[in-house]
Chain A
Amino acid sequence: MNHQNRRASSPFRFVSCMELREVLGRRATDEQRLLELIEEVPGDSIYYHTHSYYLRHPFTRGLFPNDFATWVTLYVQDRLLGECLGVVDPFEFEDVNRLRGEIVSIIGDHLSRIGSSPRCIPTEPFEFVRSHIIESELGLEVRTLLEFRNALAQVEVGAIYNHVCEARMRKGRLPGDFACWLAADEGLSMPELAAQVVKVGRLGLSLEGIREHIVRLCDQALAS
């Protein structure tokens, strides 16, 4: 059966989400304090500062894709640490505590090397925030690759975030929902396409970039 005719026994249901942000009232004015608080705050806060970027910048890039790197670069003027933190790929980690460990290790090593704790400009401390996700079904259900491709091309961007970022890190579905469904027997049984979709998350794209890339992969599969 070619890809165009394959029909999943279990449909893919698009679920979008929004994030409600909660200020924790914990703030750092220097890198040492940043390090201490990164160790202390709830995992939801680490997740927010390393993933919410994608939802805040769905179409374009900020300076760095996580808030820690952006803050030390812009407001502590520590470009070296900013670059080291900026390259951390949240999609490389299987849970938020391992990601936290990596960030702690980078900052700890940096502080040991420089022997001081650089401070930020007084008006711009690092403010720890966490997010609460509120999901909503979109009433959009697909069973074929073409339907999936067409729905993905138009769906609200929060759905991409939900099925890529939330699914991985907060729901433990590491390949992300799209890849899980594409690979599953009750889905489209297309493990190769699923593997390519998993890799898209690692490219450092915006959510719109992720959308475009996966749509392109679907087009290629449909044409093959």
Chain B
Amino acid sequence: MGGVLDQYQEVAPQGTVDFLKRLGRRVTGIRMLHVNSTRVGGGVAEILHRLLPLLQELGVEARWEVMTGSEPFYETTKNFHNALQGMQRRLTADMYDAYLQCNRENAVRLNLEADVAMIHDPQPAALIDARPRGAKWIWRCHIDISTPQRTVWQFLRPYVVRYDAVVVSLPKFAQALPVPQFLIYPSIDPLSDKNRELTTEEIRRILDRLGVPQDKPILLQVSRFDRFKDPIGVIQTYRLLKKTHECRLVLAGGTATDDPEGAQVLAEVQEAVGTDPDAHILLLSPTAHLEINALQRAATIVLQKSTREGFGLTVAEAFWKGKPVIGGATGGIVAQVIPGQTGYTVLSPEGAAFYARCLLNEPDRIAVMGRQAKEYARHRFLITRHLQDYLGLIIHLSRHAA
């Protein structure tokens, strides 16, 4: 009977699973440890839940440890997170002390024995003080640290430079560091509820429940109600398009619990939409994976009109459903959208409306681009490629250790 990995034979590029098994032979028995700060919620935990069984199936003795902390620690790391992404946050000496104290306690509590350790994001970064002799430690940075608040980066940097390698999600997220920085894109799991195949009937039922008729082309953006996602720009795009084409707008997303601005943005979006019966604002729970899947599959064109973005995996999700994406020319969107092949990148609502109009005029073109987008996602943004990159990194670091 095949393992979990064999389930990916049908969806990954031809020969990928066999290649992974071949690579796996070179890392059999290697003890790999992942450390992060939460087992549930958030993209890191989501991908680790999926990657670990696959690594284990390939012979890697993969483990996952989760650090625990007090309220002041989480308050501090939330501020770290925001400050590293360029927001101005005031961090006190007590906060830095709480961070280091928590890392020291976890260094004692956690089992850090491994040949290779991947330490995810800033929360556990100071665990490097407890690295066992001979182990290779990698700092996996999932956030955009291209323009960090200087004081916070100055605090964190001395820990980061002691790692054997850093992994970033985009080249522009890299900092000047004396250690090698590898580029590994995040990924989507084609077998998860958010991305698995759905029947037409399932899609219809879910859209009925959400109150979205499928009688007109659907323009969709899935994202948090956050100014950087430019939901007002999306509404402007829709209004420009609506002058010439019948369509519906669906803005679907939630607000982050740590984002007080979210509710305000949502209120502005609702006001901008007014009573337009063809515009649908959907506030979804963080676990509404099937709903997002159905909306993406029902959409005609997907927008991701951000003005600032991390990697923007919603683009890869839409690609996987065979949808072209019109996205803001920012962050990881430009790494995903190949202009004219898988979608378009734009700088304005006018640009987005222009390309949406072109596409609605040529349904065949939507189908062609959608197929290309799906193939691009298959090769570049599936979990199998992510797994391959991690195996490659382990092999590369082991080679250099030898």
Chain A residues in the interface with B (C-beta under 8 A) = 16, 18-23, 25, 27, 56-63, 74, 121, 123-125, 127, 129, 132, 134, 136-139, 154-159
- A157 to chain B: closest residue by CB: B13
B172 interfacial by beta-carbon distance below 8 Å: yes
Selected from A18, A58, A61, A155, the residue in CB contact (under 8 A) with B388 is A18
Listed stretches B180-188, B194-202, B313-321; interface member: B180-188
Whether A156 touches B181, Cβ cut-off 8 Å, given contacts A62-B341, A134-B395, is no
Q: How far is the CA of A123 from the CA of B13 in the complex (A)?
A: 32
- B380 to chain A: closest residue by CB: A56
A-contact bits for B285-309, CB 8 A (1 contact / 0 none): 0000000000000000000000000
Q: How far is the CA of A158 from the CA of B393 in the complex (A)?
A: 17
On whether the beta carbons of A63 and B15 are closer than 8 Å, the reply is no
On whether the beta carbons of B182 and A22 are closer than 8 Å, the reply is yes
B105 interfacial by beta-carbon distance below 8 Å: no
Selected from B176, B340, B379, the residue in CB contact (under 8 A) with A58 is B379
In the complex, what's the smallest C-beta–C-beta distance from A13 to chain B, in angstroms?
13
On whether the beta carbons of B389 and A20 are closer than 8 Å, the reply is yes
Please report the total number of B residues contacting A with Cβ < 8 Å.
39
Whether A23 touches B339, Cβ cut-off 8 Å, given contacts A124-B329, A157-B14, is no
9 residue pairs of the A-B complex, CB under 8 angstroms, read A21-B182, A22-B181, A27-B171, A27-B172, A57-B376, A123-B329, A129-B171, A138-B18, A158-B15
Whether A60 touches B375, Cβ cut-off 8 Å, given contacts A20-B392, A134-B395, A156-B13, is yes
On whether the beta carbons of B172 and A22 are closer than 8 Å, the reply is no
Q: How far is the CA of A129 from the CA of B172 in the complex (A)?
A: 11
Chain B residues contacting A56 (CB-CB under 8 Å) are: 379-380
B23 interfacial by beta-carbon distance below 8 Å: yes
On whether the beta carbons of A16 and B341 are closer than 8 Å, the reply is no
On whether the beta carbons of A132 and B13 are closer than 8 Å, the reply is no
On whether the beta carbons of B183 and A22 are closer than 8 Å, the reply is yes
In the complex, what's the smallest C-beta–C-beta distance from A14 to chain B, in angstroms?
10
B175 interfacial by beta-carbon distance below 8 Å: yes
On whether the beta carbons of B181 and A136 are closer than 8 Å, the reply is no
On whether the beta carbons of A23 and B182 are closer than 8 Å, the reply is yes
- A61 to chain B: closest residue by CB: B341
